[in-house]
């Protein structure tokens, strides 16, 4: 490798591929083995023991069994860790499996009971925390109340920024300072490692629903957490025990997705900024939510290098308008999820945030928009025709 710090665009293309030339291949190999031949009982057993405790396979003992370790998954993890400036990363079968492992490894696995969670959060995360399923007690609070809610048995602080669905920004370094010794997990799904690196701001874990921007093509469900090697061991232990490993075909697609992540983000963000400016002029739109709007603390650029490509709007005519808009778009797909090459619209209160307690649920007048790679004039044209139907529908 070059003896100079590499730009993230370069890291995104090359990370996790250093050994390919020596293997005599250009594309990363996909290892689909569910089990692996054992050299002998002793070495196989020692390697098993290492991995069951969250460690790596031992070189003379092999990978043993794919729930414990998969080389294709490990390659993707190496690439993601490098982009997040982290020692390690651990990939899971979904973003929610990653969140589950983070909570378990920081609470029950350590004899701790309590989590502090800053709202708003993705509906699934809110639901998981609120359900009590994992045996942890959860206090939901606002960003400036974290310190006040810490207890001696608090094992983790959870926050999301920009937060789903209204793109609220949370001051990561500020929450880290309030949390003191307690590790802080940042859900970095909306920003991606290209726009924000929570570990550089003192967070202990940076979590992604890799289903979204990292995969980027709407064909993989996955999660990944960047963190220290010590934390990675605790996460891999939970992953091995609970069976939440990412499938190697998914890992291959995610690793391939990393290479185009910088250029996708750059272009999608550029289009989103244009769409935001246009939406702000539309009479049907009461309010536009986009990172940076109303950001009086300068969190862009202090913690985030741009606003990203997610937008939310509040419609002047409420639910009826949301129904007309989501039912009238033609280029945009009316679907949950986000961060892919194609643009999506969805209604958070009815769908992604449906399980959130009523008091914390987004309004029925809010629609969330994910901007993809289509030509921005075509996207604005589609929104214009859909908004004209909103006017017709509510008149």
Ligand X SMILES: *Cc1c(COP(=O)(O)O)cnc(C)c1O
Report the interface residues with ligand X, using CB under 6 A: 94-96, 122, 124-125, 160, 164, 187, 189, 209, 211-212, 221, 223
Distance in Å from the first CA to the final CA of the chain: 64
Residues in the chain: 395
Considering beta carbons, is residue 95 or 292 the nearer one to ligand X? 95
CA distance 197 to 15: 17
Catalytic: which of 9, 67, 200, 302? Answer: 67
- Alpha carbons 72 and 16: distance in angstroms, whole number: 10
67 carries an active-site annotation? yes
Among residues 48, 65, 122, 252, the one annotated as catalytic is: 122
Residue 320 or 350: the one with the smaller Cβ distance to ligand X is 350
Please give the residue whose beta carbon sits closest to ligand X in the complex: 95
Residue 2 CA to residue 9 CA, distance in Å, equals: 15
In angstroms, rounded to a whole number, what is the distance separating the alpha carbons of residues 57 and 275? 49
CB of 3 to ligand X, least distance (A): 37
- Residue in 31, 126, 187, 317 annotated catalytic: 187
Handedness of CA 173, 177, 178, 180 (dihedral sign): positive
Catalytic residue selected from 17, 75, 119, 212 = 212
Handedness of CA 142, 198, 98, 51 (dihedral sign): negative
- Please, what's the largest Cα pairwise distance for the chain? 77
Nearer to ligand X, 122 or 252 (CB): 122
CA distances from 365 to 122, 179, 319, 352, 388 (A): 18, 34, 5, 14, 17
- In the complex, the smallest distance separating the C-beta of residue 189 from ligand X, rounded to whole angstroms, is 4
Residues 390 and 317 sit within 8 Å (Cβ to Cβ): yes
Cβ closest to ligand X, residue 160 vs residue 171? 160
Of 57 and 183, which CB lies nearer to ligand X in the complex structure? 183
Q: Determine the angle formed by the axes of helices 376-394 and 318-328, rounding to 10 degrees.
A: 130
Give the residue numbers marked as catalytic. Answer: 67, 122, 187, 212
């Amino acid at each position: 490798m070059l003896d100079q710090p590499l730009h993230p665009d370069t890291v995104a293309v090359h990370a996790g591929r250093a050994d390919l030339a020596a293997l005599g291949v250009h594309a990363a190999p996909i290892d689909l083995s569910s089990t692996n031949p054992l050299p002998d009982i002793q070495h196989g057993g020692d390697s098993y023991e290492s991995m069951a405790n969250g460690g790596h396979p031992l070189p003379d003992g092999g990978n043993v069994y794919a729930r414990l370790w998969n080389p294709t998954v490990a390659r993707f993890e190496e690439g993601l860790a490098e982009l997040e400036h982290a020692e390690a990363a651990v990939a899971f079968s979904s973003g929610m499996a990653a969140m589950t492992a983070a909570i378990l490894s920081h609470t029950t696995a350590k004899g701790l009971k309590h989590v502090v969670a800053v709202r708003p959060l993705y509906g699934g995360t809110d639901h998981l925390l609120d359900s009590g399923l994992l045996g942890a007690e959860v206090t939901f609070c606002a960003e400036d109340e974290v310190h006040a809610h810490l207890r001696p048995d608090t094992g983790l602080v959870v926050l999301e920024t920009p937060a789903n669905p209204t793109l609220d920004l949370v001051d990561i370094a500020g929450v880290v300072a309030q949390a003191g010794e307690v590790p802080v997990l940042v859900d970095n799904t909306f920003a991606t490692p290209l726009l924000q690196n929570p570990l550089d701001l003192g967070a202990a874990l940076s979590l992604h629903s890799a289903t979204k921007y990292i995969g980027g093509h709407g064909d993989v469900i996955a999660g990944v957490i960047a963190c220290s090697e010590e934390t990675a061991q605790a996460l891999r232990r939970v992953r091995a025990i609970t069976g939440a490993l990412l499938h190697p075909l998914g890992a291959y697609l995610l690793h391939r997705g990393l290479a185009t992540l910088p250029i996708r983000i750059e272009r999608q963000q550029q289009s989103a900024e244009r769409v935001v400016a246009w939406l702000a002029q539309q009479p049907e739109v009461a309010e536009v939510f986009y990172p940076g709007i109303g950001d009086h603390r300068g969190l862009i650029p202090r913690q985030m290098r741009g606003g990203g490509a997610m937008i939310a709007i509040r419609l002047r005519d409420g639910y009826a308008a949301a129904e007309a808009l989501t039912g009238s778009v033609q280029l945009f797909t009316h679907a949950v999820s986000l961060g892919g090459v194609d643009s999506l619209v969805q209604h958070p209160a009815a769908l992604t945030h449906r399980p959130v307690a009523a008091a914390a649920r987004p309004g029925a007048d809010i629609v969330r928009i994910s901007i993809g790679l289509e030509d921005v004039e075509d996207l604005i044209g589609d929104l214009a025709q859909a908004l004209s139907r909103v006017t017709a529908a509510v008149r």
